[in-house]
Amino acid sequence: MRLSVFSLLSIVCFLGCVDSTFTGGKSFAQVESSRASKSSAQQSNARESKVSEESHSKYNKLTDFEKYVLLNKGTERPFVGNYTDTEDAGTYICRRCNARLYRSDQKFHSNCGWPAFDDELPGAVTRVPDADRLRTEIVCSNCGGHLGHVFLGERLTAKNTRHCVNSVSMVLIRKGDPIPPTIKKKPKTGNDQSESLPKK
């Protein structure tokens, strides 16, 4: 009976974490295919949007898949992330800006397929209700990069909270290794129209 309840909890966690981009929306491969088939008019728009991307060059350079997750709110597939089952001691920082997000002692095994934490470092994570109001997105408070979603009331830990985070959104700095300085967000100016994240 205990095994059945545990299996049910794992299924609920998995379904809760899966984004529309993984189930019903565009996959990363589909997004890339769509980009490859842009018309010349769309390419012109892309050149204009490049100005926005270049304004973020002060942040760490991202691969196409990292951009897909952090900037376009995509989701990596379950059980494949580098940190899903990692138990190494250290600090998890934002891949985009190096801001400290979680300590390793806040991480736990939820069996949902993604790294799970029951708390964050003070002020590190901002909660944003999804448009459908069914879930709550979590983003890096410093750069706005997409981390994942937060779920309450699952009774998986004493804090009754689960941050379901994409491994690709973070970097683990192991205990004893130097933590790189946070790349601070520049304050907006009247001439800067590029601080908002690219839309889907």
Report the first-to-last Cα separation within the chain, whole angstroms: 43
User: Which 3 state secondary structure label does DSSP give 172?
Assistant: strand
Tokens describing residue 175: 């205990």
Gyration radius from the chain CA atoms = 18
For residue 13, which phi and psi values (nearest 5 degrees)?
-60, -45
Reported in sequence order, the residue ranges of 44-96 that DSSP labels E, i.e. its strands, are 90-94
Bridge partner list, 78? none
| Separation of alpha carbons 76 and 66, rounded Å | 9
| Separation of alpha carbons 137 and 131, rounded Å | 10
**Residue 164 is among the residues annotated as catalytic for this protein:** yes
| Separation of alpha carbons 191 and 20, rounded Å | 35
Choosing from 13, 94, 140, 164, the catalytic residue is: 164
Residue 90 C-alpha from the chain's centroid: 19
| Separation of alpha carbons 119 and 103, rounded Å | 9
Give me the active site residues, please.
164
